[in-house]
Structure 1
Amino acid sequence: MKKTAFILLMILGTFNISAQELNQYKYVIVPEEFELSKEVNQFQLNALTKFLFEKFGFEAIMKRDEKPLDLQENYCLGLSAKVKDNSGLFVTKLVVQLEDCRGNIVFETKEGRSREKDYKKAHHEALRDAFSDIEDLNYQYDPAEVSTLSTTNNKSKTEEVEQAEIAEAVPATEQRETSNEAKTPTSAPPELVVENPMISSASAKELSFEKDAKSYFLEKSETGYSFFQKGSEEPFAVLAKSGDENSFIYKSLTRQGVAYFEENGNLVVEYLNSENKSVKQVYKASSN
């Protein structure tokens, strides 16, 4: 009996920690279409997801809507909502997941279930059942907890992010010679939130690149470039102008350094890693 009580207390303790950590996130971003769907807002599931998050205290935003200024400046204030379909032949089963700006699942609900035969009713019932876990969180945004967004990564996580931070670019103007001092970063905090990862790219020219058998592209704007991995709708890094038209300040979720173009169109990014060692990455221009 004591052993059972101890296990229950451990489970409840873990749940409370998860609930407290979620309070540092201000927004939930809901896509117009989930992976389980065959069309936009199928069964009105996306609209219902937004409604339920708002009902339980979150500030929910559809992905294509204009983002608030603080979210534009720090995309890590938001969590991305996902709905996972585990349905069987006779039971509709849905799980709601919350993913942070680094692609980590920070919260997952129980499996919401429904035996309704009508698809729309079944999906709504299963989703509401899953949201009972979110209701129990008693979520309330706490600005005091926001600082933990940029200080919780350990060394292994930092190295993992380093591998994911691949930015490719082609210069839109003629190469200019830059000094060695301009190409070498003098400092780079191990954790630096992107200052503005949502640079407007309306009508900007799209440029394509390749690295490690993966495709990327960047979009040019008045303030520099936004980096994208092919298939992603959100940039993972930016290049901000630093005076010389060929020199840029490189900023990602966890890194700050410098970037410059080579004469052949390749982009060089240099920054200091968590061990204060210089890292240099060269990204080849693609003809596609």
Structure 2
Amino acid sequence: MKKLLFIIFIMFSFSALEAQNLNDYKYVIVPESFEFSKEKNQHQLNSLLKFLFEREGFETLMNGESRPEDLQRDNCLGLDANVIEDSGLFTTKMRITLEDCRGNLIFTSEEGTSREKDFKKAWHEALRRAFESVEALNYNYKADAPPATPATPETPEVVEEPEVATEVPQEEKTTPETPEEPEVVVQSEKISEDKEPGTLNFEKDGTYFQLQENENGYALYQKDMSEPFALLIRSKEGKSFIYNSVTRQGIASFSENGDLVVEHFDASKGVSVKTIYQAKKD
């Protein structure tokens, strides 16, 4: 019995230590591709990992994006994310790892698995299950924590939002039709159509959507789905939002009549695409 309690204590202490370690880091850098991928962002796996880290509260950017000023001064404020695949014939297996600026392994997730035959569904399911280990740590960045590198200056508290507006040129013409949002795994919980405090209801093409307010802005849900497919991060001015979903980034704002307007740049067509979610009247 004492041996069992000792093992449980050690496991709990190790988990708490991992959480403490992650709380000391402000950024997560996601690569554009993984070693097992055949192309950049194959099956939107890299975008999904970025989305999951952002939803958990990390400030996340793709490798190659312009870096915030404090991260340029001290790259040890960030962790490099990676996904390790060890799949068998019938099972897809993935682990998420985080390394510091010196290449030291800071965190390794539990193994996420999937038996889906479709590659995209299998990768997404295995990654989401592996990410549950990150969610369990309840990440909360310590703004007053000492820098990861002893000799580096303290990090400023205010960080500029990532520039997304340059991806949506104003001079480009919009197209009438908009690609559908990526499929989100449906959970057993359902979102009520009734308007609750802090929520806004919308409709588009006969489908109902809901914005739920949070400390950073809003989370956008589709009816009957328990997790958001997009986040709206409030800009400094407060009049617009950075729109970030699994597959795209853009700008969101509210029209005079309360409609939600989302614009993103479609690189394949070279145009700016506008999506309008009509405000649902009570």
- Could you tell me which amino acid in structure 1 is paired with residue 74 of structure 2? N
Question: Aligned residue pairs: how many?
Answer: 154
Q: Tell me the residue number matched to 1:132.
A: 132
1:2 shift after superposition: 2.5
SS at match of 1:138: coil
1:36 shift after superposition: 1.3
Distance 1:132 1:86, change over 3 A: same
Report the Cα distance in structure 1 between the residues aligned to 2:52 and 2:103, rounded to whole angstroms: 22
- Kindly indicate which of the two structures has a greater share of residues assigned to helix: 1
Unaligned runs of 5+ in 1: 152-191, 196-288
Q: Tell me the residue number matched to 2:23.
A: 23
1:9 shift after superposition: 1.3
1:19 shift after superposition: 0.5
Q: Tell me the residue number matched to 2:32.
A: 32
1:146 shift after superposition: 3.0
1:123 shift after superposition: 0.4
- Could you tell me which amino acid in structure 1 is paired with residue 35 of structure 2? E
Contact 1:25-1:146 at 8 Å conserved across structures: no
Report the Cα distance in structure 2 between the residues aligned to 1:47 and 1:32, rounded to whole angstroms: 8
Q: How does 1:141-220 map to 2 (within 5 A)?
A: 141-147=141-147, 149-151=148-150, 192-193=151-152
Q: Tell me the residue number matched to 1:5.
A: 5
Q: How does 1:84-163 map to 2 (within 5 A)?
A: 84-147=84-147, 149-151=148-150
Q: Tell me the residue number matched to 1:64.
A: 64
- Could you tell me which amino acid in structure 1 is paired with residue 125 of structure 2? E
Distance 1:71 1:50, change over 3 A: same
SS at match of 1:126: helix
1:119 shift after superposition: 0.5
Q: Tell me the residue number matched to 1:259.
A: none
- Could you tell me which amino acid in structure 2 is paired with residue 72 of structure 1? Q
Unaligned runs of 5+ in 2: 155-282
Q: What is the CA deviation profile of residues 76-112 of structure 1, one whole-angstrom value per residue up to 9, with x for unaligned ones?
A: 0000000001111111000000011001110000111
Report the Cα distance in structure 2 between the residues aligned to 1:108 and 1:128, rounded to whole angstroms: 14
Report the Cα distance in structure 1 between the residues aligned to 2:20 and 2:153, rounded to whole angstroms: 24
1:194 shift after superposition: 9.8
Report the Cα distance in structure 2 between the residues aligned to 1:194 and 1:43, rounded to whole angstroms: 39
Q: Tell me the residue number matched to 1:201.
A: none
Report the Cα distance in structure 1 between the residues aligned to 2:42 and 2:123, rounded to whole angstroms: 10
Q: Tell me the residue number matched to 1:77.
A: 77
Contact 1:86-1:92 at 8 Å conserved across structures: yes
- Could you tell me which amino acid in structure 2 is paired with residue 37 of structure 1? S
Q: What is the CA deviation profile of residues 123-146 of structure 1, one whole-angstrom value per residue up to 9, with x for unaligned ones?
A: 000000000000001001102223
Report the Cα distance in structure 1 between the residues aligned to 2:61 and 2:14, rounded to whole angstroms: 28
Report the Cα distance in structure 2 between the residues aligned to 1:146 and 1:31, rounded to whole angstroms: 26
Report the Cα distance in structure 2 between the residues aligned to 1:107 and 1:144, rounded to whole angstroms: 22
Report the Cα distance in structure 1 between the residues aligned to 2:153 and 2:21, rounded to whole angstroms: 21
